[in-house]
Structure 1
């Protein structure tokens, strides 16, 4: 028997794995658990009560299981998870240890110990202050009421800068104390050592100890805190190894300083003092701190594309109220407000022009460098830049509703998502630290037994080097850094990617299904002619046709209504309106039943089509026109021919995709003749006409059964099911919200050339990820054995723990630096 259960309390994939394992450990149960939706599908040989399942889950965490056997996937109630409760947080782990979870406060990741990274935020309300009297804070520019000076914008130091500046202060302190320690320790190698003439070796050891205290207990203490936290939670990570390695060296040195007699002669120098490692400890920690500083700087660059998007959002706007213009904060704009946009201004919110015209630079949103001419009733987008003319616009979408806000949210979410390829790194990272610690212990004992003179010293140093050089951090950062930069690069080119999985899957696509209207064509249909069997009634037929279409949202309907209004045809009341998906519309006008649509609609209402009408329709269709039949009271009375130009870029984009080995198939609800005309012009080898939404869905499923990786490009409500079913749904940004919501990739410009770009981007990102993973794997595969001393018997080469620390620090930085190269690819 199989049952479905709702499971409350899972916040990440780690929780899902734990719950699934716990349920499978119960005898007689086979369980599969999904995170979104939070459902457990359990097959059991005999009935096991929910109370027993709950007891097992309560033992491993704060999870609740509820009987949901009668609940199907689309009826599951919405459950607030801890991660959703934290959705207002603004910090995340750069290694995404807990998926896309956000945290409310800055600090360390509870899993890996890495510094949490601040998420990019939209600009807040501007505040102004006086440079002479900082206690004066105003919401708008002006003069200081105390001294009369101009108020200046109050800029708050970002969390990202705070983190970087804090690390910078610590590295300065660490260097001030570490450099003298290093000089003292290395002075033995200098002939006629001047330091030994000032004080003896033992006294200088005490100086090293005192100088090391600020480094260990202030500048680098956070590493030991993270190491301890990782051990007690058993989330072993890079800081576990650093903490153990440097901590052992420091404790060894303290014991050697205070109790030198407990050590055998092998650990002592010629003058009888124990070899101490204060310099190794402080240099290692200082180099790790340097690595953290460089990482913090590099992290800020990986989110550079998001920051550039954030800069697009203005903080103020000019509102018109009773004809008077005044400045207001962008946060105070309401829907319906009239806003004056001056030359060079950034558009503050989404809306449309009501008075005037201008050319607007939309390159930051669409990636298209040529300014677009806009006139009355044309839409304008927040963040785009006005040209050299002034106009008035009405605010229609504000705050989080604007396209710019949605883009920023989508890019932020996608940047925190995990790509499937990361599973390999995650699997290895789980066992990485225990394996390294084991290798370190083995290294010590092998050197102690088989090493040369002072074998214990060699064993001790090499064991520490093994701990220090290993870097699970480079492995963990390999994928998310490339994803973050790649998603940002896409956004700056008008390509919005919903998650990392979509970015990876796009590289594997071998079939592209594309809609016709609005995808291949402009999506701006215009009426070419209306044909009536009775020419004298053509105006009356146009009035009836437009009146019925005024209730439809379809682009063809809007074109017909616009055509009638341009001819000064008045519209009349329509009753019993009904839209029949994929076929057309019906309704009642002047007590007559009117139907407008394709041949399938006329077949449904059992309306015959005269031969002479059919021949005229065929002639129009062969020219690539879309034709809608008109029937009144079950009798065909004419048709309306509509043209929709093919986008100039469609032919070139399809040709390039086919050259890359992608099979392009057009599926359209239009008739065979029109579809064939378009397919011939585009040199398409395959197309299907008269497709209803379910037909597109079936075709995608058929191709998927054959093992094809299918991408679907569309822009209408009818395309939503197919977009959701495809391996990669690609929505045209010029289409409907439903289509965009169903898709994994959105092309803001609504251009097939965007598919060529995203294919190129996907390939570049996956190549970059593989380079990072290779580097991380090869670094650890070679670095750990070298640190253990495998080259010593053959070449006499040993790796100092300090050199190991330097290599470890730069391994993570190099992974990030390689990911940053994606910013320079040309799409």
Structure 2
């Protein structure tokens, strides 16, 4: 029977005693809760409930009441993770801590992301829980120093493993030559018998193997046997049991052969020693490969300089980036990287922002313009005021976003986790059964056959490959996507994006530039384009309307000053410029003022049918010109839509524009489905209908009014040049603002999921096929008995294969568009994706 447990919650939205009472009643009404109290002053709730009550029941009750429980997330760095079984046990230990809502452990990154009820537990308690389970853990910060520390730790681990491999190999080589050399070169056996002697060779093998096992191999016993005693065996336990069995049998054969059945006193020192060498070699290669999975993060970290010139008292002093505070004045010399986000105070220069935006053209910066950490200054000196430092810079947020996405678990991983949690105990059971069957039914002498088969089963099983299959592909795939200018804010968007069948696009700011530009000026007889634009721009110069701005920009320099300007609401405006009367507005203004526009009317209707905004200009009471403006389609939009069609996807456009304009743009770009006259609140309903008609749906938008639709879509993709609200609501951010990024995101998603399936097929297929072979099922049919040494080699190769296959994703190229990228390492432009 479940006993009661105490649960503390931090509750949000409490404004009065009535709120506290409602929240308390919501908690008390949950089945399994024996008592509940809410303190308004501290905004804390205290619940006594059955220990088997799911925390989600409490959090959902508070959400329904309108007072959601505050949640916190902490990242732990976990040591000692060697296989998928370890992952399951750490997750189980963390989820057992009161207040924990979710715990996801990433084997490749050696990190745990834990979400818990704020106030119910602490990060230190979670670290202690993982450590008590046998996997030392520490709290991990989110700064760049933490990532640099991780990189150094992995480098130290690789060096240490390399040293252990060399020592173990040097000690194991003579053992292997003495015992197995005669099988390959007949003369070696005679030489060993003549020079060393039969029994003396056993003593030498015993000495060298013992040094291997108590030296480089001791780690397997230190971790494996305690895990076995805790009832939570892992990969180390399999290796420890297998090598110990071979070693102990060999020691008995060497020193007490008389206690063994006649003809069974054989030694297997070479198996124990070489297994350790091969497993360590596999782990060394694995560590090197795992180190490379974080290359994208390392490249991003490398974008921020360590120091900057801070101006104080007229002097520029070189200062560590960590010591820069908001408001500091920083001097940026030509060719230097920007250290922190800021705003230019003085100077003019061009900055290369390609590593952040993906745009290869340098951007001019002068007083008042923002600068971003990691970008590179051109030839001009600048001084700027720091606005965001440390973890608040755009670069730091990108690093955090990529790290969090890399640590995500895809839905496909759930099945793998359930299997691998029981994998090692199952292998041990199969090994025990193998020994029993060989001992009872095997040919004489049965004991050596049973020992070889049992050890081979223990050694060949590889939960490492099963555990690494998904997280390594996710880490490399998401890291590579970041280098292509695609930031997956949520890792599971990788899998959901692959399932999308229709892509819905916002029009303004997504398909188009989001600002009108002059398209056509059709002049009446005797009037020049330059004259009309100059006078019209003078009349519009004082207006902030986007169309007015477009006309002023098109007129260029030398615009005269208007003598008078009169706005006519609903019609247009009237102005006097250089003594001439200027009228600008719709056809109804011309009709009201008696201006004849019949000659231009037919062309006006043709331009309006193309989705352009049309108006007339008159000078001194005579029709002078027909002017049209339109929101220009972004470069690459048409190309992106063609590519989406080629991928078998339908493309829809959702726009607040009138039907004529929306359909004109859609026809021009080849869009399949159009929803026009759509208010912000209508977009979600439009998405629901599209999903019902066509299946899983992605939505691409950029504005504040797109945030609900981005959140409601199966996958929301935000244009990176859009608003912060839109980006926060999205699953994926296209940093450059180029719609071709949607195609590249789809390419990254499909390539990564394909890579995961390849890894899972290999990892599961390897174990399903080779564990029975190791058990000796082929022997009765004339097949071979698998040597434990070969089993160790196969096991080591399995993990290395999975990691190497995941690393192929670094060769992924953008399907289209620019390859210049966040980390500046995206490879050649415009190539097709590699097969991955």
Q: TM-score range by the shorter chain?
A: 0.7 to 0.9
Q: 1:736 aligns with which of 706, 715, 723?
A: 723
Task: Tell me the residue number matched to 1:462.
Answer: 453
* Residue 175 of structure 2: aligned partner: 181
Question: What residue is the counterpart of 1:660 in the other structure?
Answer: 647
Which segment is superposed worse, 113-122 or 453-462?
113-122
Is structure 2 residue 286 aligned with structure 1 residue 302?
A: no
SS in 1 for 2:75: helix
Structure 1 residues 91 and 120, CA gap change in structure 2 (3 angstroms): farther
- Give 1:752's aligned residue: 739
* Correspondence 1:345 to 2:336: yes
Could you say what secondary structure the match of 2:695 adopts? coil
Q: Which runs of 5+ in 1 are unaligned?
A: 11-39, 126-153, 269-274, 530-537, 550-554, 571-591, 598-608, 629-639
Aligned to 1:230: 227
Distance 2:366 2:273 in 1: 66
Q: How does 1:241-320 map to 2 (within 5 A)?
A: 241-268=238-265, 275-320=266-311
- Could you give the per-residue CA deviations for residues 105-133 of structure 1, whole angstroms, max 9, x where no partner exists? 999987998999998975559xxxxxxxx
Q: What SS does structure 2 have at the residue aligned with 1:700?
A: helix
How far is the alpha carbon of 1:395 from its aligned partner? 2.6
- Matches of 1:158 and 1:301, distance apart in 2: 13
SS of the counterpart of 2:387?
strand
User: CA deviation digits over 1:136-193, x for unaligned, max 9?
Assistant: xxxxxxxxxxxxxxxxxx9998111111122122222212322222233335654463
Of 407, 410, 427, the match for 1:416: 407
- 2:68 is matched with 76
Residue 804 (structure 1) aligned with residue 791 (structure 2): yes
**Closer, same or farther: CA 492–568 of 1 in aligned 2, 3 Å:** farther
Counterpart Cα distance in 1 of 2:77 and 2:570: 53
Q: Secondary structure at the match of 2:447?
A: helix
Give secondary structure in 1 for the equivalent of 2:69. Answer: coil
- Structure 1 residues 442, 515: closer, same or farther in 2, change over 3 A? same
Distance in structure 2 (CA, Å) of the matches to 1:722 and 1:561: 35
**Distance in 1 (alpha carbons) for counterparts of 2:455 and 2:161:** 25
1:281, CA displacement in angstroms?
1.0
Structure 2 counterparts to residues 214-225 of structure 1, below 5 A: 214-225=211-222
Query: Which residue is equivalent to 2:809?
Result: 822
1:387, 1:712 → 2: CA distance? Answer: 37
Deviates more, 1:332-341 or 1:463-472: 332-341
Q: 1:92·1:118 contact (CA, 8 Å) conserved in 2? A: no
Post-superposition Cα deviations, 1:616-658, rounded to whole Å, max 9, x if no partner, equal 9988754534699xxxxxxxxxxx9864321111111111112
Structure 1 counterpart of 2:203: 206
Which residue is equivalent to 1:87? 75
For residues 278 and 53 of structure 2, the distance between their equivalents in structure 1, rounded to whole angstroms, comes to: 39
Show structure 1 runs of 4+ deviating over 6 A: 5-10, 40-44, 51-56, 103-121, 154-157, 538-545, 555-570, 592-597, 609-620
1:680 to 667, 683, 703: 667
Partners of 1:50 and 1:67 within 8 A in 2: no
Retained in 2: the 8 A contact 1:367–1:492? no
Alignment of 1:426-825 (within 5 A): 426-525=417-516, 546=544, 622-625=609-612, 643-706=630-693, 708-825=695-812
C-alpha separation between the residues in 2 aligned to 1:795 and 1:370? 69
Quick one: distance in 1 between partners of 2:696 and 2:337? 41
Give, in whole Å, the separation in 2 of the partners of 1:668 and 1:92: 53
User: Conserved in 2, the CA contact under 8 Å of 1:321 and 1:338?
Assistant: yes
Judged with a 3 Å threshold, the aligned counterparts in structure 2 of structure 1 residues 357 and 205 are, in CA distance, closer, same or farther, namely: same
Q: Distance in 1 between matches of 2:655 and 2:259?
A: 86
Q: Indicate conservation of the 8 Å contact 2:224/2:237, yes or no.
A: yes
Check conservation: 1:624, 1:678, Cα contact below 8 A: yes
Find the residue that maps to 1:389 and give its secondary structure.
coil
Structure 1 residues 422 and 239, CA, compared in 2 at 3 Å: closer, same or farther? same
Give the Cα separation in 2 of the matches to 1:506 and 1:435: 36
Alpha-carbon shift at residue 432 of structure 1 (Å): 2.1
Query: Equivalents in 1 of 2:644, 2:79: separation in Å?
Result: 39
In 2, Cα distance between equivalents of 1:188 and 1:295 = 33
The CA distance in 2 between the partners of 1:302 and 1:325, in whole Å, is: 39
1:391, distance to aligned residue in structure 2 (A): 2.9
Residues 57, 464 of structure 1: alpha-carbon distance in 2 compared, 3 angstrom cutoff: farther
Report the equivalent of 2:822.
none
Distance in 2 of aligned mates of 1:411 and 1:339: 28
- 1:87 is paired with a residue of what secondary structure? strand
The more displaced of 723-732 and 69-78 is 69-78
- Write the deviation string for residues 302-351 of structure 1: whole angstroms up to 9, x where unpaired: 11111111111111112334553332222232333333322221121223
Contact 1:512 1:662 in 2 (8 A): yes
CA distance in 2, matches of 1:425, 1:485: 19
Structure-2 separation of matches of 1:282 and 1:557: 82
Corresponding residue of 1:50: 34
Residues 143 and 391, structure 2, Cα contact 8 Å, conserved in 1: no
CA distance in 1, matches of 2:687, 2:420: 37
Pair 1:769–1:88, CA change in 2 (3 A): closer
State the Cα distance separating 1:90 from its structure 2 match.
8.3
* Of 561-570 and 315-324, the range deviating more from structure 2: 561-570
Task: Check whether the contact 1:50–1:65 (CA below 8 A) recurs between aligned residues.
Answer: no
Distance (whole Å) between structure 2 residues aligned to residue 784 and residue 223 of structure 1: 21
- Aligned pairs for 1:127-206 (under 5 A) are 158-186=152-180, 189=183, 190-191=186-187, 193-206=190-203
Where does structure 2 lack aligned partners over 5 or more consecutive residues?
A: 11-25, 37-45, 92-103, 106-111, 114-122, 521-535, 573-586, 593-600, 616-626, 815-836
Other-structure match for 2:42: none
* 8 Å CA contact 2:540, 2:552 repeated in 1: no
Decide which moves more: 469-478 or 697-706.
697-706
CA contact (8 A) 2:404 2:491 kept: no
Contact in 2 for aligned 1:237/1:473 (Cα 8 Å): no
Cα deviation for residue 217 of structure 1 reads 2.2
Task: Summarize the Cα distance change of 1:74–1:720 in structure 2 as closer, same or farther, 3 Å threshold.
Answer: farther
Alpha-carbon separation, structure 1, partners of 2:59 and 2:653: 45
CA distance in 1, matches of 2:207, 2:53: 46
Looking at structure 1, the residues matched to 318 and 746 of structure 2 have their Cα atoms a distance apart, in angstroms, of 44
User: 2-side partners of 1:760 and 1:157: how far apart?
Assistant: 29
CA distance in 2, matches of 1:419, 1:760: 17
